[in-house]
Structure 1
Amino acid sequence: MTPAPASWRELLGPEHLGAVIVMAGGVLVGAVNIYLASSMLPTVVADIGGASFYAWSMTIYLVATVIATMLVSRFLSRWGNVGAYLLGFAVFMVGSLACAASMTMPMLLVGRGVQGLGAGLLSGLGFAVIRSALPRRLWTRGNALMSAMYGIGNFVGPALGGLFAQFGSWRLAFVLMAVIAVACGAVVPRVLPRSERSDARAPIPIVSLMLVTAATLAVSVAGVLPGAMTRAAGIVVALLLVVGFVLHERRSELRVFPRTTYRAGSPLKWVYLTLGLLAFGVAAESFLPLFGQRLAGLPPVAAGFFGAVISLGWSVTQIGSSSAVRERTVRRLIAIGPVLLALGFLAQGLLQRESVPIWLVAIWVPVLFVAGSGIGIAYPHLSVAAMASTPDPEEGRQAAAAIATVTTMSTAFGTAVAGVLVNLGGRSMLDSARYLLFGFAIICAIGIVTARAATRSSRPGPSSSEPSSSEPSEPSEPSEPSGRTR
């Protein structure tokens, strides 16, 4: 008597298509631009100079993105769905045009910072607005689509940047991003529901914001510092700042994460930790193209696509995973996700060789795809668990927006840790590959423990603010099959 899952056709039907395009488009442009600029930087430096600022493009963008994601719930309270989205697309457009018009590297970095603020706001809104833009039964499908945008962005960003760089037209790539932002922003008032706004100015959690910003900055800088010990020290500083952030949030009334996160017995903290460890694994893609070129002799284009296989597995498997509605099935998918991710890295590490033959490269691809599928089968259900962790609308928006914060911070941490592990290999590319893959296998295996803790408590029921469109909170009981709406 379990209710049938809502279909993709319903999510992408006329009633919801406009809102879905806006939400998914906002997350996608933010994800694409993480690596779009990085793949064009050699061409940019050759044109406008500034090689000494090379590594700061990614750092400034990620720090700005994290800051913006932490303020999403406050923008929603002040401006509502429509106003917050218009602001996000406008800021992203201004940042993109500033990048396109840059004549020096410092000007480009300012543009990247503004672009990151818009991207962070749009990424957080993509998850937070699902609660009001879609009925409860479509939350899993909606979250699957939003999180798939990260995987698609990781795949499209380098390819698109490389294409524009190939023809020396890097400025046009930023113009294209601005045009997409304008197109999405133009339809926002017509397709998004207008949520309630509050004239009261919600206080900003300054201390929490400063601690998270400092942690993100520390780990981002650690990722570009020379020497393994220096990078390790930067990561340790960042971890200490994160600990300080958690201790402060537990005592403070002004929080970035909802109050439920720190409540005794609440699984929400484990949900966020599991999401973070899954997103952490994607950072391995930063060095996979390097291993493909140096160990397997792949040409740059083929190595680039090889590096995006984890993201491809993440995106593709969410299509099937989001169909699951039985509570037992959902729990199993969440538990299996970190297992597949860790085993994928372990197997990939065992398969590393000098002068890899082509038949072994052919095995690499499905192994990495399986690792990415571990993210895809668990991510949408963990996202819904975070969104449905509280019936309070304000806390629900805060919990949903925090998904983007956790994802972005974990990517930054993962990139820095990957750099440290690769440096441990010294001049041996084979050793570097093994350190990275085995190290990531161990770290991502921690998610097996956090996933079990996240599913230990029963799944929360739907928000009381959406009784007419919600699924039954206990779908396995035959007495409540009527929770679906048509």
Structure 2
Amino acid sequence: MEEHQSVGSWRELGRHMGTVLVLAGGVLVGAVNIYLTASLLPTAVAEIGGERLYAGNTTVFLTAQVVATMLVGRTLSRRGNIGSYLLGFGLFAVGSVVCASSPTMPVLLVGRGVQGLGAGLLTGLGFALVYSALPRRLWVRGSALISAMFGLGNFVGPALGGLFAQFGSWRLAFAVLAAASAVMAASVPRALPKGGRTAAGAVPVPLVSLLLVIGAVGAVSVAGALSGEAVTAVFIALALALVAAFVVAEKRGRVRVLPRPTYQAGSALRWLYLTIVLLAVGVAVETFLPLFGQRLGGLPPAAAGFFGAALSLGWSASQIVSSSAHRQRTVRRLRVAGPGLLGAGLAVLALLQRRDAPLPLVLAWLPVLLLAGAGIGLAMPHLSVAAMAGAPDKEEGEKAAAAIATVLTMSTAFGAAVAGLLVNLGGPSTLSSARCLLLGFAALCASGTLTALRADRLAQRAQVREAKAEAGQTAGQSR
């Protein structure tokens, strides 16, 4: 008889509406901010200068965001659910106010760093509280909704940023973000359950892991901003070496960012996280799709921007449908099929690239992008829940949930650098750059099928061992 997992309904999730809105809203403001700021920066530079520090905006924000996701456990243990969320929204609001009032680019960078700390904390808290604040049968629905906020943010952010930039109101955009954050913070005490603080004291800071990740994110962000292929490759190699050092330090250390089972032999958790990386990294191609739409397809900027967000739209929409799957066999198939669909979609899109492409061919990009994005949405909520369920106790489970945010934010940084490298390798021809980028990411994302299969095999072996152990205990008691 086929096993089923308990999946609550959207109506049941609606009974936790206050909690869900806070969790989803916290992720959404950070996701919107990334793409909104990218649209606003040219206007800001024209007013306050600092063009040499342009690329530093992304580096500072992403580094601070990753660091904050790694400190979610410590923050929860000291401040509890409500205090942690108030801190996250507060940091994001203060950072937005600093950005809105910045007289120079260095001040803007400070604001971006504070924003990143708040956004990272809110993202990590979102996944951690899905684990602790919702019943297990609602984990898939909650994870799907929160993950969909990344896709929605990628879709809404550029549109809002372009609108504010059109009227030269980049400062007003940051002020609106600060106001939105303050409104959500006001609802936190009523919406969230109290608790989360650990009586045994604060969780220690994983200092070594923290420094290694900061170095890796910094190296990959610098790589993404460089134009020379050789130098870019050196910085990516440095980043990978630092990630390898992070894994060694985590495996040997007593204080970890990732849950303990990640490093145990026969655990599926490491393969689940790696599959999440290979799925999420595919979103990096969105940065260049508007450029290809304009130069190869002759699209106006507004239409080209919509094509750039189509991948995220497919991601967001498909997660809502995917979260209804409850048969274990179906869930396993979705986790494996997701990376394959994403890779296939990007490969087909590469084949559709042409110089001076006719309009019907350009319009065919849209359904391909939506299907490719659906690959992320089909698999992501089930991968997130599998990671949460892969920890042996509540403390490790919360760490496993919060680590999803760390993995996602690091994927964003690495994906941006790899995308920049592939585009440069394909240059100077825009057509060659487009094909190099899309085919490269198609292969990278499709390899997630292999990691998902590995995770499923290990999980099934663990279930067999547990079933045999329970049968042995039952037989022993019957004697």
Please confirm whether the aligned pair reaches a TM-score higher than 0.5, indicating the same fold.
yes
1:241-252 matches, cutoff 5 A: 241-252=242-253
Query: How far is the alpha carbon of 1:241 from its aligned partner?
Result: 0.5
Runs of 4+ with >2 A deviation = 1-5, 457-462
What is the distance in 2 between the residues matched to 1:359 and 1:48? 43
What is the distance in 2 between the residues matched to 1:244 and 1:399? 20
Cα deviation digits, residues 137-185 of structure 1 (max 9, x gap): 1100000001000000111111111111111111111111111111111
Q: Which residue of 2 aligns with 1:10?
A: 12
Q: Which residue of 2 aligns with 1:484?
A: none
What is the distance in 1 between the residues matched to 2:4 and 2:346? 35
1:243-322 matches, cutoff 5 A: 243-322=244-323
What is the distance in 1 between the residues matched to 2:4 and 2:248? 41
Q: Secondary structure at the match of 2:364?
A: helix
Q: Secondary structure at the match of 2:423?
A: helix
What is the distance in 2 between the residues matched to 1:190 and 1:461? 41
| Aligned residue pair count | 462
What is the distance in 2 between the residues matched to 1:386 and 1:162? 37
What is the distance in 1 between the residues matched to 2:253 and 2:324? 39
Q: Which residue of 1 aligns with 2:171?
A: 171
Write 1 or 2 for the structure with the bigger share of helix.
2
Q: Could you tell me the TM-score, scaled by structure 2's length?
A: 0.94
Alpha carbons of structure 1 residues 314 and 382: separation in structure 2 relative to 1, 3 Å: same
Q: Which residue of 1 aligns with 2:102?
A: 102
What is the distance in 2 between the residues matched to 1:388 and 1:189? 28
Cα deviation digits, residues 32-61 of structure 1 (max 9, x gap): 111111100111011111111111111110
What is the distance in 2 between the residues matched to 1:459 and 1:307? 38
What is the distance in 1 between the residues matched to 2:269 and 2:78? 26
1:93-132 matches, cutoff 5 A: 93-132=93-132
What is the distance in 1 between the residues matched to 2:268 and 2:132? 23
Q: Secondary structure at the match of 1:354?
A: coil
1:337-352 matches, cutoff 5 A: 337-352=338-353
What is the distance in 2 between the residues matched to 1:89 and 1:406? 21
- What value does the CA root-mean-square deviation take over the aligned residues? 1.6
In structure 1, runs of 5+ residues without a counterpart are 463-472, 475-486
Cα deviation digits, residues 101-124 of structure 1 (max 9, x gap): 101000000000000000000000
Q: Which amino acid in 2 is paired with 1:18?
A: G
Q: Which residue of 1 aligns with 2:78?
A: 78
Q: Which residue of 1 aligns with 2:326?
A: 325
Query: How far is the alpha carbon of 1:460 from its aligned partner?
Result: 11
What is the distance in 2 between the residues matched to 1:377 and 1:269? 20
Query: How far is the alpha carbon of 1:456 from its aligned partner?
Result: 1.4
1:204-223 matches, cutoff 5 A: 204-223=205-224
Q: Secondary structure at the match of 1:107?
A: helix
Q: Which residue of 1 aligns with 2:133?
A: 133
Q: Which residue of 2 aligns with 1:483?
A: none
Query: How far is the alpha carbon of 1:396 from its aligned partner?
Result: 0.8
Q: Which residue of 2 aligns with 1:465?
A: none
Q: Which residue of 2 aligns with 1:182?
A: 182
Cα deviation digits, residues 209-268 of structure 1 (max 9, x gap): 000110001001110012122111111110011011101111111111010110111100
Q: Which residue of 1 aligns with 2:440?
A: 439
Alpha carbons of structure 1 residues 427 and 149: separation in structure 2 relative to 1, 3 Å: same
1:354-433 matches, cutoff 5 A: 354-433=355-434
8 A contact 1:385–1:460 mirrored in 2: no
What is the distance in 1 between the residues matched to 2:246 and 2:35? 28
Query: How far is the alpha carbon of 1:404 from its aligned partner?
Result: 0.7
Cα deviation digits, residues 177-203 of structure 1 (max 9, x gap): 111111111111111111242252322
1:135-174 matches, cutoff 5 A: 135-174=135-174
What is the distance in 1 between the residues matched to 2:423 and 2:164? 29
Q: Which residue of 2 aligns with 1:61?
A: 61
8 A contact 2:268–2:459 mirrored in 1: no
